[in-house]
Amino acid sequence: MVGRKELAARVAAAREQAGISQAEVARRLELPRSAISKMENGEQRIESLVLADMARLYGVSVASLLTDGNEATRRCDSLPGEVLLRSAGDMVPQDREVLDEFLDMCRDYAELKRAVGRA
């Protein structure tokens, strides 16, 4: 696991790599822009749900932000949930997006659990 300053730097770098401004993050997460700035400077603790929202917004896994090394950045593309998503052909697009988001959260949790188990 990384410390607060390292996490802040990783979150800022992920945002920059995604090409999203702090103002846009604040708008999409419904938070003050000053809070985003403080989180990225390590002045304010990042709550777990906010971190999960940021990771999703930036297209990275929560585990990649929280753990050392590259093992957490690997995606688990062969999860049984992928079969569920593919078989959901009759779903409306919005429901399919919700299911896909849920599966992403499950992948992030599994990656984080494996990474913490190795620490």
Domain ranges of the chain: 1-60, 69-119
Q: Considering the entire predicted model, what is its pTM?
A: 0.59
Mean pLDDT value of segment 29-36: 96
pLDDT category, 99, cuts 50, 70, 90?
confident
CATH code: domain 1-60 is 1.10.260.40
Where does residue 10 rank: exposed (0-12), middle (13-18), buried (19+ CB within 10 A)? Answer: middle
pLDDT category, 73, cuts 50, 70, 90?
very low
Mean pLDDT over each residue of the chain, to the nearest integer: 80
- Name the nearest CA neighbour of 13 among 30, 5, 94, 111: 5
At position 71, the amino acid (one-letter code) is E
Residues 6+ apart with CB under 8 A from 28: 57
Q: How far apart are CA 108 and CA 81, in angstroms?
A: 13
Q: How far apart are CA 19 and CA 107, in angstroms?
A: 24
Output 73 or 52, whichever has higher pLDDT: 52
Tokens of 42: 């390590």
Tell whether the model's pLDDT for residue 44 goes beyond 90: yes
Tokens of 60: 């990275």
pLDDT category, 27, cuts 50, 70, 90?
very high
